[in-house]
Structure 1
Amino acid sequence: MTTKTAVPAVNKPVKNRLTPIAESIERIRGYPSTLIVYKTNASKYYWVRFFFNGKNRIKTTKSESSKDAKTFAIQFYKDALLDVSASRKSNKRNAFSVVANQFFETTERNSNSKTYKSDINRYRQNILPFFKQQDIETITNAQLNEFVEELHKTKIKPATIKHHIVVLRKIMKYAIANQLMPNLPVFPRITGRLQTSVKRDYLTKDEYEKVVKTAEKLAAAKVKVRTQTITLQMKYLIQFMVNSFIRPSDLRVLKHKHIKKRGEGRDAWLTLNHPATKTNANEVQAMPATVGIYASLVQQLKDEKLPTKPDDYVFFPQIRENRTTAMEVISRLFKKIIEESKIEEKTGKKITLYGLRHTAIMFRLIIGNVDTLVLSRNARTSQNMIDKFYASHLTTDQVRRQLHNIPYKEVIKKISTKKVTAKKTSATTKTSSKTIQK
Structure 2
Amino acid sequence: MQKTTGAKATIAQPKHRTGATEKHYIPGYPTKLYIYKLQASRYWWARYFVGRNAVRKSTKTDSKQKAIAFAKEFYDIITYNQRHGIAATASATGFESCLKELLKAEKARLKRGEIAKGTYDNFVYRYDKFITPHFRNVEVREIDYFALERFLNTLSEQKLTASTISAYMGLIAKVLSYAAKRKLIASVPEFPTVTKKDKARGWFTTREYRRLWSAAKRYAGQRMEVRKYKDAKGDTQTQFINTNAKSGKLGTVMRNVDMTEDMRRLIVFMCNSYIRPTDIKFMKHKHVDIVRGEYTFLRLRLPPTKDHSDPITTMEKAVDSYETLKKYHVEHGLIDGKSCDDDYVFLPQYKTNRDYALKQLQRQFEILMWDTKLGTSAAGEDRTLYSLRHTAIMYRLLFGEGINTLALARNARTSVEMIDRFYAKPLSGEMNIAMLQSRRRHRNIYDGDFEILQRRESLEKVALA
Which TM-score tier does this pair reach, normalised by the shorter chain? 0.5 to 0.7
Counterpart of 2:99?
100
The structure with more radius of gyration: 2
Counterpart of 2:413?
380
CA separation of 1:109 and 1:348: change in aligned 2, threshold 3 A: closer
Counterpart of 1:340?
371
Counterpart of 2:127?
126
- Is the contact between residue 366 and residue 399 of structure 1 (CA under 8 Å) also seen in structure 2? no
- Is the contact between residue 254 and residue 313 of structure 1 (CA under 8 Å) also seen in structure 2? yes
1:316 aligns to what SS in structure 2? coil
Does structure 1 residue 361 correspond to structure 2 residue 393?
A: yes
Matched ranges for 1:119-198 at <5 A: 121-123=122-124, 125-126=126-127, 129-130=132-133, 134=137, 136=139, 147-154=151-158, 155=160, 157=162, 158-175=165-182, 177=183, 183=185, 189-193=191-195, 195-198=196-199
Aligned counterpart in structure 2 of residue 284 of structure 1, from 306, 312, 327? 312
CA separation of 1:353 and 1:112: change in aligned 2, threshold 3 A: same
Matched ranges for 1:6-25 at <5 A: none
- CA distance in 2 between counterparts of 1:230 and 1:335 reads 11
Q: Which moved more, 1:148-157 or 1:269-278?
A: 148-157
- CA distance in 1 between counterparts of 2:416 and 2:83 reads 40
1:216 deviates by: 0.6
Does structure 1 residue 295 correspond to structure 2 residue 323?
A: yes
Query: Match for 1:354: what amino acid?
Result: Y
Q: Which moved more, 1:87-96 or 1:206-215?
A: 87-96
Deviations 1:118-153 (CA, angstroms, capped at 9, x unpaired)? 577425532574279758568655875665455444
Counterpart of 2:262?
233
CA separation of 1:383 and 1:105: change in aligned 2, threshold 3 A: same
- CA distance in 1 between counterparts of 2:117 and 2:375 reads 39
Unpaired runs of 5+ residues, structure 2, are: 1-81, 227-254, 439-465
Aligned counterpart in structure 2 of residue 371 of structure 1, from 397, 404, 422? 404
- CA distance in 2 between counterparts of 1:321 and 1:185 reads 46
- Is the contact between residue 298 and residue 315 of structure 2 (CA under 8 Å) also seen in structure 1? yes
Give % identity: 27
Aligned counterpart in structure 2 of residue 330 of structure 1, from 353, 361, 376? 361
- CA distance in 2 between counterparts of 1:239 and 1:139 reads 53
- CA distance in 1 between counterparts of 2:83 and 2:389 reads 38
Deviations 1:41-74 (CA, angstroms, capped at 9, x unpaired)? xxxxxxxxxxxxxxxxxxxxxxxxxxxxxxxxxx
1:389 aligns to what SS in structure 2? helix
Q: Which moved more, 1:109-118 or 1:324-333?
A: 109-118
CA separation of 1:371 and 1:404: change in aligned 2, threshold 3 A: farther
TM-score relative to the length of structure 1: 0.60
CA separation of 1:112 and 1:301: change in aligned 2, threshold 3 A: closer
Does structure 1 residue 218 correspond to structure 2 residue 219?
A: yes
- CA distance in 2 between counterparts of 1:399 and 1:135 reads 54
Deviations 1:167-211 (CA, angstroms, capped at 9, x unpaired)? 220243245x3xxx5x46995743430x32111232111211111
Counterpart of 2:425?
392
CA separation of 1:190 and 1:346: change in aligned 2, threshold 3 A: closer
- CA distance in 1 between counterparts of 2:223 and 2:289 reads 31
Aligned counterpart in structure 1 of residue 285 of structure 2, from 252, 256, 262? 256
CA separation of 1:89 and 1:335: change in aligned 2, threshold 3 A: same
Q: Which moved more, 1:214-223 or 1:184-193?
A: 184-193
- CA distance in 2 between counterparts of 1:137 and 1:198 reads 35
Query: Match for 2:388: what amino acid?
Result: L
Query: Match for 1:244: what amino acid?
Result: S
2:209 aligns to what SS in structure 1? helix
1:375 deviates by: 1.5
CA separation of 1:336 and 1:392: change in aligned 2, threshold 3 A: farther
1:288 deviates by: 1.1
Unpaired runs of 5+ residues, structure 1, are: 1-84, 406-438
1:227 aligns to what SS in structure 2? strand
- CA distance in 2 between counterparts of 1:137 and 1:374 reads 42
- Is the contact between residue 275 and residue 281 of structure 1 (CA under 8 Å) also seen in structure 2? yes
Query: Match for 2:318: what amino acid?
Result: T
What's the Cα RMSD here? 4.0
1:218 deviates by: 0.9
CA separation of 1:324 and 1:130: change in aligned 2, threshold 3 A: farther
CA separation of 1:200 and 1:295: change in aligned 2, threshold 3 A: same
Number of equivalent positions? 315
2:220 aligns to what SS in structure 1? helix
Deviations 1:223-269 (CA, angstroms, capped at 9, x unpaired)? 355322011110111110001011222222222211111125x8432
Counterpart of 2:85?
88
Counterpart of 2:238?
none
Deviations 1:269-322 (CA, angstroms, capped at 9, x unpaired)? 210010222241111111111111001111233345434632232222333444
Query: Match for 2:265: what amino acid?
Result: Y
- Is the contact between residue 347 and residue 357 of structure 2 (CA under 8 Å) also seen in structure 1? yes
Counterpart of 1:275?
303
Query: Match for 1:126: what amino acid?
Result: Y
- CA distance in 1 between counterparts of 2:359 and 2:118 reads 23
